[in-house]
Amino acid sequence: MTRTPVNVTVTGAAGQIGYALLFRIASGHLLGPDVPVNLRLLEIPQGLKAAEGTAMELDDCAFPLLRGIEITDDANKAFAGANVALLVGARPRTKGMERGDLLSANGGIFKPQGKAINDNAADDIKVLVVGNPANTNALIAQAAAPDVPAERFTAMTRLDHNRAISQLAAKTGAAVSDIKKLTIWGNHSATQYPDIFHAEVAGKNAAELVNDEAWLADTFIPTVAKRGAAIIEARGASSAASAANAAIDHVHTWVNGTAAGDWTSMGIPSDGSYGVPEGIISSFPVTTKDGKYEIVQGLDINEFSRARIDASVKELTEERDAVRELGLI
Ligand code: NAD
Ligand code: LMR
């Protein structure tokens, strides 16, 4: 059976993450080995030439699943008929920039992109925001797209999730594939809370197995939460291949489902679960099936976790209030 190609739009396509992402989308890792794709690359005018160079390389790979590539600096064209949108391009924080300046500069990107998605994307559009501050950028885009169901706008915390799995595997000597049910709560920022109280290592409860609250509080949580900064310090640039890999994982899991007995972490509009204010885009434990996700309910949240979830959620509500004040939502 010949399948209709899926239209995948990538913004910031000429950037570092874009370069690590596009070849994997085109080779079938995003959606599956039998799903053809059309790529739409959105860049600012200064990025178009480099995007054209990447498109030449994509052609040179002769990927059987890649049916077409369009490059544009017009968001309405880039999102026309889009089924999946990966919003990667963002305004980085530069020296002397206050948080309000950063939110305002990104509002200038994500508000019009949200509107362009609203006006042009396919009915089944799924959006992943990678560009930082990812959760609040996703909120801005979502607010500008009133005709798209809010739950289609998600923010990436899968890189944090993968980082936490890797750290826990190293601590316990387990294989990463033995680790299940890990959760990232809150914001993709240094306040995020990687939670191992419900996680399993080869079927055993991870927190009981580790049995070391000092390691949890003073090593594990800060290592995961500050990993992005540590990569920038080491590489002189922010994570790119691991971020692209996490974006692939996020969408692949959303579309193709979580494995039985496991869950993943996604930044999604809160429905009020676990005391997280409705509407903010916060990371939760979710299962996915048939292209839809559901928050894992009924987890017992201990005091240690409650304080950390609340701190990250507080930061998200402050970011929401700031963008509201700026008229961005
Ligand atoms: P980069 O600077 O290499 O690339 C960004 C690209 O976006 C550039 O080519 C730029 O021209 C383009 N761009 C800027 N504004 C645009 C717009 N309005 N429309 C389309 N394209 C636009 O950056 P990168 O390393 O690829 O990182 C991209 C973003 O992802 C950054 O915000 C970074 O902080 C973030 N990030 C998030 C995570 C996460 O886990 N959520 C992880 C790593 C990086
Ligand atoms: C990461 O987690 O690696 C990035 O979000 C860091 C950054 O600020 O780009």
pLDDT digits (tens, 9 = 90+) for 113-135: 999 999 999 999 999 999 999 99
Ligand 2 atom at shortest distance from the alpha carbon of 239? 3
The Cα 150–Cα 64 span in angstroms is 34
Query: Read out DSSP for 125-157?
Result: -EEEE-SSSHHHHHHHHHHT-TTS-GGGEEE--
Average pLDDT over residues 7-12: 98
The Cα 265–Cα 293 span in angstroms is 10
Confidence of residue 45 (pLDDT cuts 50, 70, 90): very high
Confidence of residue 200 (pLDDT cuts 50, 70, 90): very high
Kindly list the distances between the CA atom of residue 179 and the CA atoms of 20, 75, 110, 165, 249, in Å, as whole numbers in the listed order: 26, 40, 35, 7, 16
Angle value at C-alpha 91, between 90 and 97, nearest 5 degrees: 150
Average pLDDT over residues 294-302: 98
Q: Catalytic: 188? A: yes
Average pLDDT, the chain: 97
Per-residue b or e along 35-71, where b marks 16 or more CB atoms closer than 10 Å to that residue's CB: bbbbbbbbbeeebbeebeebbeebeeeebebbeebeb
Average pLDDT over residues 194-210: 98
- ipTM higher than threshold 0.90: yes
Cβ burial, residue 112 (10 Å; 0-12/13-18/19+): middle
pLDDT at 324 over 70: yes
Confidence of residue 96 (pLDDT cuts 50, 70, 90): confident
Q: State yes or no: 281 annotated in a binding site.
A: no
Ligand 1 centre to CA of 197 (Å) is 33
* Beta carbons of 60 and 76 less than 8 angstroms apart: no
Ligand 1 atom at shortest distance from the alpha carbon of 47? 11
pLDDT at residue number 1 = 54
Ligand 1 atom at shortest distance from the alpha carbon of 130? 41
* Beta carbons of 155 and 278 less than 8 angstroms apart: no
The pocket around ligand 2, CB under 6 angstroms, is made up of 132, 159, 228, 231, 238-239, 243
pLDDT at 95 over 90: no
Average pLDDT over residues 226-240: 94
pLDDT at residue number 99 = 77
Q: State yes or no: 306 annotated in a binding site.
A: no
Higher pLDDT, 93 or 54: 54
Kindly list the distances between the CA atom of residue 38 and the CA atoms of 69, 83, 306, in Å, as whole numbers in the listed order: 6, 10, 43
Average pLDDT over residues 54-63: 98
Query: Percent of the chain at pLDDT above 90?
Result: 95
| Closest by CA position to 224, among listed 246, 253, 256, 201 | 246
pTM of structure: 0.98
Average pLDDT over residues 296-318: 98
pLDDT at residue number 126 = 98
pLDDT at residue number 97 = 81
- Catalytic residue, chosen from 29, 161, 188, 198, is 188
| Closest by CA position to 13, among listed 61, 67, 70 | 70
Average pLDDT over residues 26-38: 97
* Beta carbons of 201 and 172 less than 8 angstroms apart: yes
Confidence of residue 91 (pLDDT cuts 50, 70, 90): confident
Q: Which ligand has its closest atom nearest to the C-alpha of 227?
A: 2
Kindly list the distances between the CA atom of residue 305 and the CA atoms of 204, 217, 224, 274, 283, in Å, as whole numbers in the listed order: 19, 11, 15, 11, 14
CA atoms within 13 A on the CB side of 144: 22
Average pLDDT over residues 276-284: 98
Average pLDDT over residues 233-256: 96
φ/ψ region of 277 (left if φ > 0, alpha if ψ in -120 to 50, else beta) reads: beta
* Beta carbons of 247 and 18 less than 8 angstroms apart: no
Ligand 2 centre to CA of 119 (Å) is 30
